[in-house]
Amino acid sequence: MGSAVCKPTDEAIRQNQKIDNELRKDEKEQQKKIKFLLLGISDAGKSTIVKQMRQIHDGGFNDTEIINAIFQIRQNIIEAFKQVSILILKNGSKIAENEKAVLNVFAYETSKVEMMNETDELTYLNDFRFFECIMDFFRTNKCHPMVPDNIFYFFPELHRILVTNYVPTIQDMIHMRATTLGVHEISFDFRKHVIRLIDVGGQKTERRKWIHFFEGVTAVMFVTSLSCFDQFVLDDTARTEIEEEGKATDSSNPVVLVSWETSLNRIENRVLIRSASSDASKLLNRLQDSVELFKSVLKNNFLHRSCFMLFLNKKDVLEHKLKALKFIDYFPDYSKYLIPDNQFNTVTSYIDNMFRKGAGGNQKIYSHYTQATDTKSIDYVFNSACDVIFQQYLDNVELE
Q: What are the residues binding ligand GTP (CB under 6 A)?
A: 40, 42-48, 149-150, 175, 177, 179-180, 201-203, 265, 313-314, 316-317, 371-373
Least separation in angstroms between CB 213 and ligand GTP: 14
Least separation in angstroms between CB 252 and ligand GTP: 31
Q: Which of residues 47-66 bind Mg ion (CB under 5 A)?
A: 47
Structural contact between residues 357 and 294, judged by C-beta atoms closer than 8 angstroms: no
- Residue 317 interacts, among Mg ion, ligand GTP, none and using kind-specific CB cut-offs from 5 to 8 Å, with ligand GTP
Residue 313 annotated as binding site: yes
Q: Which of residues 13-32 bind Mg ion (CB under 5 A)?
A: none
DSSP assignment of 256-279 equals HHTEEE-TT-SSS-EEE---TTS-
CA 364 to CA 383: how far, in whole Å?
18
- Residue 177 interacts, among ligand GTP, Mg ion, none and using kind-specific CB cut-offs from 5 to 8 Å, with ligand GTP
Binding mask 30-49 for Mg ion (x = CB under 5 A): ----------------xx--
Q: By CB under 5 A, is residue 180 in contact with Mg ion?
A: yes
Nearer to Mg ion, 200 or 385 (CB): 200
Q: Burial letters for 328-364: b for 16+ Cβ neighbours within 10 Å, e otherwise? A: bebbeebeebeebeeebebbbebbbebbeebbeeeee
CA 26 to CA 194: how far, in whole Å?
13
Least separation in angstroms between CB 379 and ligand GTP: 14
Residue 363 annotated as binding site: no
Residue 199 annotated as binding site: yes
3-state secondary structure of 202: coil
Closest CA to 82 of 98, 102, 68: 102
Rounded (10°) angle between helices 132-140 and 63-91: 100
Nearer to ligand GTP, 103 or 162 (CB): 162
Residue 227 annotated as binding site: no
Residue 201 annotated as binding site: yes
Structural contact between residues 217 and 37, judged by C-beta atoms closer than 8 angstroms: yes
Paired strand residues for 366: 309
Least separation in angstroms between CB 308 and ligand GTP: 17
In angstroms, the Cα distances linking 202 to 101, 123, 218, 231, 272 are 36, 35, 20, 16, 18
Residue 60 annotated as binding site: no
CA 110 to CA 113: how far, in whole Å?
5
Q: By CB under 5 A, is residue 373 in contact with Mg ion?
A: no
- Residue 172 interacts, among Mg ion, ligand GTP, none and using kind-specific CB cut-offs from 5 to 8 Å, with none
Least separation in angstroms between CB 228 and ligand GTP: 10
- Residue 218 interacts, among Mg ion, ligand GTP, none and using kind-specific CB cut-offs from 5 to 8 Å, with none
Residue 202 annotated as binding site: yes
Structural contact between residues 146 and 260, judged by C-beta atoms closer than 8 angstroms: yes
Q: By CB under 5 A, is residue 313 in contact with Mg ion?
A: no
- Interior angle at CA 145, CA 144 and CA 147, nearest 5: 65
Least separation in angstroms between CB 381 and ligand GTP: 11
Residue 314 annotated as binding site: yes
Q: Which residues are annotated as a binding site for GTP?
A: 199-203, 313-316, 372
Site residues, Mg ion (CB under 5 A): 46-47, 180
Q: Which residues are annotated as a binding site?
A: 47, 180, 199-203, 313-316, 372
Binding residues for Mg(2+): 47, 180
